[in-house]
Structure 1
Amino acid sequence: MSKAFSHLGMAMRAGKLVTGDDTVLKSIRQGKAHLVIVAGDASDNTKKKFRDKCGFYNVKMAEAFDRVELGKAIGKEARVLIAVTDAGFARMIATQLTSYSEVDHIDKTTGQQR
């Protein structure tokens, strides 16, 4: 997980991350988000909202870390949501995270779990 932390920090310094409910939602809707990370200690409502949005817009979503760890990884205070807006960083970070949500396993044509 430490590589994921360092990659998150690099993405933040490169300006390729957005945080916060409204900003992350906007980046998903605009097709700019390539990976959304939700803190494991986020509320169930937040997890469901972003799982649904990511599923609808076909954006990968991972549930990882807790809010304090997420914030620390990007040099900020506690963060519940992060969207990676660069495809390269998203791939690097996604390979380090193992706890993908079921969004990645839903066939968009049938809506069924694969």
Structure 2
Amino acid sequence: MLGLAQRAGKLISGTETILDELKRKRVKAVIMANDIQDNTAEKVNLATKKDNIPLITAFSAAEISHAIGKKRKVLGLTDVGFAKTLIKRVNEGV
């Protein structure tokens, strides 16, 4: 799903980019590695809670990096459809 979103241009990556785009209300869901540094996790958590943005922490940094072919720990989905589909799949355990 993340690879599809990336190819469609609906995925952004990098902590600072995500935080900036959250302020601009462009991010519909955030995927954060469950093995990320505590201070980064805290920044992302606060930013997502502020605007009630779904935060997915079901994947490791290695899994996220493998899915998109780049070394990343924080991703943002900018499309509602991709966000809803990913959240549904994570909740179902797919």
The aligned amino acid for 2:72 is R
The offset of 1:30, in angstroms, is 0.6
Please, what TM-score do these two structures have when normalized by structure 2? 0.91
* Structure label with greater radius of gyration: 1
Count residues with an aligned counterpart. 91
Give the Cα separation in 1 of the matches to 2:5 and 2:38. Answer: 27
Give the Cα separation in 1 of the matches to 2:58 and 2:74. Answer: 10
- In structure 2, runs of 5+ residues without a counterpart are none
Task: Find the counterpart in structure 2 of residue 74 from structure 1.
Answer: 68
1:29-68 → structure 2 map (5 Å cutoff):
29-68=23-62
- In structure 1, runs of 5+ residues without a counterpart are 1-6, 99-114
Please, what TM-score do these two structures have when normalized by structure 1? 0.76
- Post-superposition CA distance 1:33-88 (Å, at most 9, x none): 00001101101111111111101122111112111110110121x21100000000
Give the Cα separation in 2 of the matches to 1:32 and 1:73. Answer: 22
The offset of 1:89, in angstroms, is 0.3
Structure 1 residue runs of 4 or more that deviate by more than 6 Å after TM superposition: none
The aligned amino acid for 1:84 is L
Q: Report whether the alignment pairs 1:87 with 2:80.
A: yes
Between 1 and 2, higher relative CO (CA 8 Å, sep ≥ 6) is seen in: 2
